[in-house]
Amino acid sequence: MKRIIIAGILALLCMIALPVLASSQTGKVTMEFDLSEQATGQEVKLWLPYPVSDAQQLISKISWQGDFADAAVYTDRSNSNPMLFARWDDKATARKLTLSFNAERTEQSNKDLQDSTSPIDLAIFAPYLAATSMGPVDGPVKALAEEITSGKTTILAKARAIYDWTVDNSFRDPKTRGCGLGDVPQLLGRPGGKCADISSLYVAIARSAGVPAREILGLRLGKEDGTDITGWQHCWAEFYLPGTGWIAVDPADVRKAMLKQNLALDDPKVDELREYFFGSLDPNRIRMSEGRDLTLNPPQQGQAINYLMYPFAQVGGQTIDWLDPATFKYRITFNK
């Protein structure tokens, strides 16, 4: 009898000692680009967001090939975003490139968050409190931030209040082109769009309230072998919580689920989604870049680009429309 009891206790201890494994997604992403139909006699340049490993994702077996004149990986100066740059000279008659990599992403979860009285180090976090060309932090945005966070004195309380306001007041507009521009002044009048719009709204209000925040630009992974994920770019947000680190929030995915499932704000399913996406992220995505108003490396011609979530290309110094498949042909595939 004693042996049975001891064996049972040991088995229970082993069960307790086992870590809870977070869900994950693993597969191969292949990006195929063909700019051969662009006008000949001009130099063609292509910049691609280039994934790297971090605490939530492991990127391996990266390779690229094509008929380019040269290609290399660079980073931009302001955000250190890795990017694959390829160039074809003006005599090229074909312009093709394939980038592939394996990705393993784990579910991101930060629950039971604890507030901190530690001050924000402005020397480090000033860029995450600053305005961008489409995300002002003064005027109407500042007034709205003060209204939303009235009575809130901590980073966590302010971040949560802004998140709840964004979920309650934004909406997903399926007619929005791509992921949206994230034009916050326009969104104040009509807070509808897609992920870049809703995330940008959250970030601008958070920064106005003194909460360091940033957009994370990425790509959704497929769930089945051979899934075409060409239009699956996605943007979410993060705020910095002293003593803990960067905390993910995705109000855009709450609103997307509400639209797809025809859910009202008072539906219990929305409560579950709201709680999950404040601090947690599903594993069906990878991080590609961050930051707005980017100067690429090597520098593009013309003004800074809004963000590097989609591939970016210029022909003879002129930017081509990355959302027009007739002029910018590429395909992204996910394989298990």
pLDDT along the chain (336 residues), means of 10: 38 34 86 94 97 97 98 97 98 96 95 88 95 98 98 96 98 98 98 98 98 98 95 98 96 98 98 97 98 98 97 97 90 97
44 and 160 within one domain:
no
Contacts of 176 (CB under 8 A, 6+ apart): 192, 193, 194, 197
100 and 196 within one domain:
no
d(CA 221, CA 26): 9
Phi and psi at 311, nearest 5°, equal: -60, 150
Asked whether the whole model's pTM tops 0.85, one would answer: yes
By residue range, what is the domain housing residue 85?
A: 24-106+292-335
- Are 94 and 329 in contact by the 8 Å Cβ rule? The answer is no
What is the model's pLDDT at position 325? Answer: 82
Which CATH number goes with the domain that contains 66?
2.60.40.2250
- Put residue 25 in one of left, alpha, beta given phi > 0 → left and psi -120 to 50 → alpha: beta
What is the model's pLDDT at position 17? Answer: 33
The CA-atom distances, in angstroms, between 272 and each of 163, 217, 277, 280 are: 14, 24, 9, 12
Strands 57-66 and 96-106 turn out to be antiparallel
What is the model's pLDDT at position 288? Answer: 98
**How far is C-alpha 319 from the chain's CA centre?**
23
d(CA 211, CA 155): 6
Which CATH number goes with the domain that contains 253?
3.10.620.30
d(CA 311, CA 328): 9
147 and 218 within one domain:
yes
Q: Is residue 211 part of a domain?
A: yes
Count of structural domains, the chain? 2
User: What tokens appear for 70 in the block?
Assistant: 């040269």
- Cα–Cα–Cα angle for 164, 235, 257, nearest 5°? 55
For residue range 30-54, list pLDDT tens digits in order.
999 999 999 899 999 999 999 999 9
176 and 45 within one domain:
no
Give me the residues paired with residue 88 across strands: 44
What is the model's pLDDT at position 36? Answer: 95
